[in-house]
C-alpha cells in the first residue's frame, strides 16, 4: 500500500500536528507515504484570485512530479491543497485547450489515469472502515464529535467528487468506526471565512462563532476537521473553548500511537482535559 504524498506548506507550520498524526496513523495502517520530490505550494485561493492560469500550473508541477515517480495515486491530507489539485485535474481532463496550455508551460504530458485522493476518502473508502475498526486499540466510546467538512472537500462537487455536498458522511462513518458517537448538526459544510481571518478578523469571528456554538448546542464535545485553515480559524476565533481536532489525531488516539503529547502541545485549546475525562489521554 504505497502512495505518492503531498504534505502542503502548512505541514511544518500551522498544521504541524496534522502532518505528524497523518504519518503515524498511516504507519499504523501499514501504508507507506512517499513525499513528492521537491513539491511546491498548491497556490491556494490567493493565486486563483489573481491569476487563474498560474493557479492551474502550480498544482500541475506537483501532478507532473507525482505522476513520473510512479508510486501510486497521490494522497493529500489538507482539504485546501486537495481542492487546488483537483481544480487542475478538472481542467486537464475537461478542457483540451487548457490542458495543452498547462502542459506546455509546466513541461509534461498529463496521464488521465493518474488519481488524486483526499486522505479522508482514501481511509474511509479505499482502506475501508472495516480495516480501521480492526486497528482500534482503545474505542473512543463516549466521545461526541461534530464532524466539520468545511468547503474545500465537498465543493464544487463537479471538481472534488467527494461525498454529498450538503450532508456528507465520510467523516461521520470514520468516527463511528473509531467508536465515537458523532452528533447530527446542520453546519458541517458552512464556511469558516478562510483567509479573511487575516484581513477581516471580525467576519471570521462571526462565522466561526456560529459554527462552534451550533456544534455545542447540538451536544458536541469537540469538532473534527481535515483542513489546516479551518482548524486554525475554529480554534483561534471562538470564545467557548471547544477543542478542535484533525481527524487523524482522533485516529491516533484510537490506534494508541506514540508521540501524541507533541500534537496536543500545538493546540491553542488543549484537548487533554476532554480526553482525560473519557480515559483516553
Partner 1 sequence: MESVVETVKTGTSFLEEAKRRSGEDLSLCYQCLKCTAGCPTAPFMDVRPNNLIRMIQMGRKEEVLGSSAIWLCVSCETCGTRCPNKIDIGVLMDALREMAIEEGIPAKERNIHLLHEAFVQSIKRGGRVHEATMLIDYKLRSRDFLTDLIPGMMLFLKGKIPLFPSFIKGREEIKRIFEKCEKK
Choice between 229 and 257, CB closer to partner 1 = 229
Residue 245 near residue 274 (C-beta atoms within 8 A):
no
CB of 173 to partner 1, least distance (A): 22
Q: DSSP states of 185-249 as a string?
A: -S-TT----GGGGGT-HHHHHHHHHHHHHHHHHTT-SEEEES-HHHHHHHHHS-SS---EEEHHH
Site string for partner 1, 209-238 (x = CB under 8 A): -----------------------x---x--
Residues between 17 and 76 with contacts to partner 1, criterion CB under 8 A? 38-41, 43-54, 57-58, 61
Interface residue with partner 1, options 31, 72, 77, 193 (CB under 8 A): 193
Number of residues that this document lists for the chain:
281
Choice between 181 and 195, CB closer to partner 1 = 195
- CA dist 194 to 24, 65, 200, Å? 27, 28, 10
Interface residue with partner 1, options 194, 223, 224, 274 (CB under 8 A): 194
186 touches partner 1 by CB under 8 A:
no
Q: Give me 259's grid cell.
A: 508521540
Distance CA 85, CA 79 (A): 10
What residues line the site for partner 1 (CB under 8 A)?
A: 9, 12-14, 16, 38-41, 43-54, 57-58, 61, 105-106, 151, 155-157, 165, 189-191, 193-201, 203, 207, 232, 236, 265-266, 268
Amino acid at each position: 500500500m504505497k502512495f505518492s504524498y503531498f504534505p502542503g506548506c502548512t505541514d511544518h507550520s500551522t498544521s504541524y500536528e496534522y502532518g505528524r498524526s497523518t504519518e503515524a496513523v498511516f504507519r499504523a495502517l501499514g501504508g507507506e507515504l512517499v513525499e513528492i520530490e521537491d513539491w511546491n505550494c498548491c497556490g491556494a485561493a490567493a493565486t486563483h484570485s489573481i491569476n487563474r492560469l498560474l493557479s492551474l500550473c502550480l498544482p500541475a508541477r506537483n501532478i507532473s512530479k507525482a505522476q513520473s515517480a510512479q508510486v501510486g495515486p497521490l494522497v493529500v491530507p489538507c482539504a485546501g491543497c486537495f481542492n487546488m489539485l483537483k481544480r487542475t485535474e478538472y481542467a486537464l481532463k475537461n478542457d483540451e485547450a487548457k490542458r495543452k496550455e498547462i502542459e506546455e508551460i509546466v513541461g509534461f504530458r498529463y496521464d488521465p489515469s493518474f488519481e488524486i485522493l483526499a486522505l479522508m476518502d482514501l481511509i474511509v473508502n479505499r482502506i475501508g472502515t472495516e480495516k480501521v475498526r480492526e486497528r482500534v486499540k482503545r474505542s473512543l466510546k463516549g466521545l461526541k464529535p461534530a464532524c466539520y467538512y468545511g468547503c474545500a472537500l465537498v465543493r464544487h462537487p463537479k471538481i472534488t467528487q467527494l461525498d454529498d455536498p450538503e450532508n456528507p458522511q465520510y467523516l461521520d462513518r470514520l468516527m463511528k468506526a473509531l467508536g465515537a458517537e458523532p452528533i447530527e448538526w446542520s453546519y458541517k459544510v458552512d464556511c469558516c471565512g478562510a483567509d479573511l481571518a487575516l484581513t477581516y478578523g471580525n467576519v471570521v469571528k462571526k462565522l466561526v462563532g456560529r459554527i462552534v456554538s451550533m456544534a455545542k448546542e447540538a451536544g458536541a464535545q469537540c469538532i473534527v476537521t481535515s483542513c489546516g485553515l479551518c482548524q486554525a480559524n475554529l480554534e483561534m476565533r471562538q470564545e467557548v473553548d471547544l477543542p478542535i481536532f484533525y481527524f487523524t489525531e482522533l485516529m491516533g488516539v484510537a490506534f494508541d500511537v506514540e508521540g501524541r503529547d507533541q500534537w496536543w502541545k500545538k493546540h491553542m485549546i488543549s484537548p487533554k482535559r476532554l480526553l482525560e475525562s473519557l480515559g483516553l489521554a
